[in-house]
Amino acid sequence: MKKISRGFVYFFGALGGLLFGYDTGVISGAILFIKNDMSLSSFSQGVVVSAILLGAIIGAAVIGLLSDKYGRRSMVLLSAVIFALGSICSSLANNVVILTISRIVLGTAVGGASALVPLYLAEMAPAKYRGTLSTLNQLMITIGILSAYIVNLAFANYPYGWRIMLGFAVLPAVLLFIGTLYLPESPRWLISKNLEDKAYEILKAVRSNSEPNEIDEEISEIKEANVKENGGFKDLMQKWVRPALIIGIGLAVFQQLIGINTVIYYAPTIFSNIGLGEISAILSTVGIGVLNVLVTILALFIMDKIDRKKMLIMGSLGMAVSLFLLCIVSQFHIANNNILGYITLAFLCIYIFFFALTWGHVMWIMIGEVFPLKVRGFGAGVSSVANWTANLAVALVFPFFFEKIGNILFLFFAIMAALSILFIKNKVFETRGKSLEAIEIMLYKKSKAI
């Protein structure tokens, strides 16, 4: 087998994250025009926006399981096809039922990407790069969200421009499909299917500077881990594993209850409701998207230099304060809508800064660290489903409550951010600088000491 560029592998391996970000972010601008064309109520808006999340719950569970049977690469190809078909059907929908069903189908690819991309990258990367590549996935998601905001702005003045916005995702979906045709299969999956020789050839092709004995050692480690990783629900519920499960589900749910996806999905709606025009509302959202990307890049450089717990607490505190101040300011009568819009934008930017620097990637990294080897994949999957379920609940009810009480709704998210600090202090243990084996031993010893 010829040498394979690691950059090529990592780029196309992470491209699913970009589609994930685009398809979850594009609805924020499109819904401004869809609600007029289809005469949607606030509840119907919530249904259309959150339909993709229902599909994501299904996709995260089903595609992850299928990848164990049919391989990571084949499931990425399937996800690319679903991304393309879901985007086309969404853009051509002529009523709310077809649009909702199309977005549920599209969501299965989004959920599949959320499970497959980190898994494929982790299995293809050398151990010393796994942390950085976890954040690379989050960076691709934020780039996808920003791309969606830019497309929303570009086609906001077009007749039925929302159809172009939703359909535009076909282009990266086709690119993902073509690129994946040239990607190697995961060596870990090949070894699980007793295809050790093929796994060796792939590792040799992507580990260009590795000596044969280093590749042999890596294969031996994969084989040893493969034997151990066969735990199920019963293993996950053991007393000594339970603290990890509480951390995984707790962090996953709190990440949504602090309100991040209300900003991602509904930022233009928020700005539009306070009096800004639709174009100004979408333009303000582009600024949020740019900040999200830039801060995520900054996170790449500091993620392994500050304790995980400190980062999460700092992020929760910053988000709680910014959302609380947003609620307070919104209660003052400000006649000029532009001034109110700029104030709202400023506080939401502060909120995004703290989220992107901390919770945006630290939560996903810790979910991959806290579980023992035997149930790591299953535990991460359970946590991911909890994250998507909380995401669905928040996205579904936000338009209804925002229509009733406006920015006061952000007080709820501020309270959740404050409560997350208590959860982190009392339930989360530090993982930075510890090997996965050391974390597992610590869990086991703690259970014996109780």
User: What six digits make up the tokens of 242?
Assistant: 């339970």
pLDDT value at residue 98: 95
Q: What is the pLDDT of residues 208-220, one digit of tens each?
A: 666 667 777 778 7
Q: What is the pLDDT of residues 250-307, one digit of tens each?
A: 999 999 999 888 887 777 777 776 666 667 777 888 888 899 999 999 988 887 788 8
227 or 306, which is more confident: 306
Q: What is the pLDDT of residues 85-138, one digit of tens each?
A: 999 999 999 999 999 999 999 999 988 887 788 778 777 877 666 667 767 888
316 or 398, which is more confident: 316
pTM confidence score: 0.80
Average pLDDT for 40-68: 84
Nearest-angstrom CA–CA distance, 5 and 384: 30
Q: What is the pLDDT of residues 306-337, one digit of tens each?
A: 888 999 999 999 999 999 998 888 777 555 55
| pLDDT, averaged across the chain | 84
pLDDT value at residue 3: 73
The answer to whether 173 and 87 are in contact (CB under 8 A) is yes
Nearest-angstrom CA–CA distance, 282 and 290: 13
pLDDT value at residue 338: 65
Domains of the chain: 1-183 (1.20.1250.20), 229-450 (1.20.1250.20)
